[in-house]
Structure 1
Amino acid sequence: MSKFGEIIDLQIPVLLNFFTEWDENCKQLHPVLKDVAAAMGDKAKVVKIDVDKNQELAEALRIKSLPTFVIYKSGEMVWRKSGFMEAPDLLAILKDNKIA
Structure 2
Amino acid sequence: MSANTTDTSDATFEADVLKSDKPVLVDFWAPWCGPCKAIAPIIDEIAAANADKLKVVKLNTDDNPQTSAKYGITGIPTLNVYSGGEVVKTIVGVMPKPKLVKELEPFIG
TM-score range, shorter chain: 0.7 to 0.9
Consecutive unaligned residues of structure 2, counting only runs of 5 or more, are 1-9
1:6 matched to 2:19 = no
Code of the residue aligned with 2:12 in structure 1: it is K
Any idea what SS the aligned residue of 1:42 has? coil
1:22 matched to 2:38 = no
Give the match for residue 54 of structure 1: 64
- Calculate the TM-score normalised by the size of structure 2: 0.81
Structure with higher helix content: 1
Count of residue pairs brought into register by the alignment: 98
Give the match for residue 50 of structure 2: 40
How much is the aligned-residue C-alpha RMSD, in angstroms? Answer: 1.4
- Calculate the TM-score normalised by the size of structure 1: 0.87
Consecutive unaligned residues of structure 1, counting only runs of 5 or more, are none
> Separation in 1 of the partners of 2:47 and 2:99?
13
CA apart distance, 1:20: 0.7
After superposition, the C-alpha distances for 1:23-70 in whole angstroms (9 at most, x for unaligned) are 110111221111110111221011111100001111111101011010
- Kindly, what percent of the aligned residue pairs are identical? 33
Greater than 6 Å deviation, 4+ residue runs: none
Give the match for residue 89 of structure 1: 99
CA apart distance, 1:94: 2.3
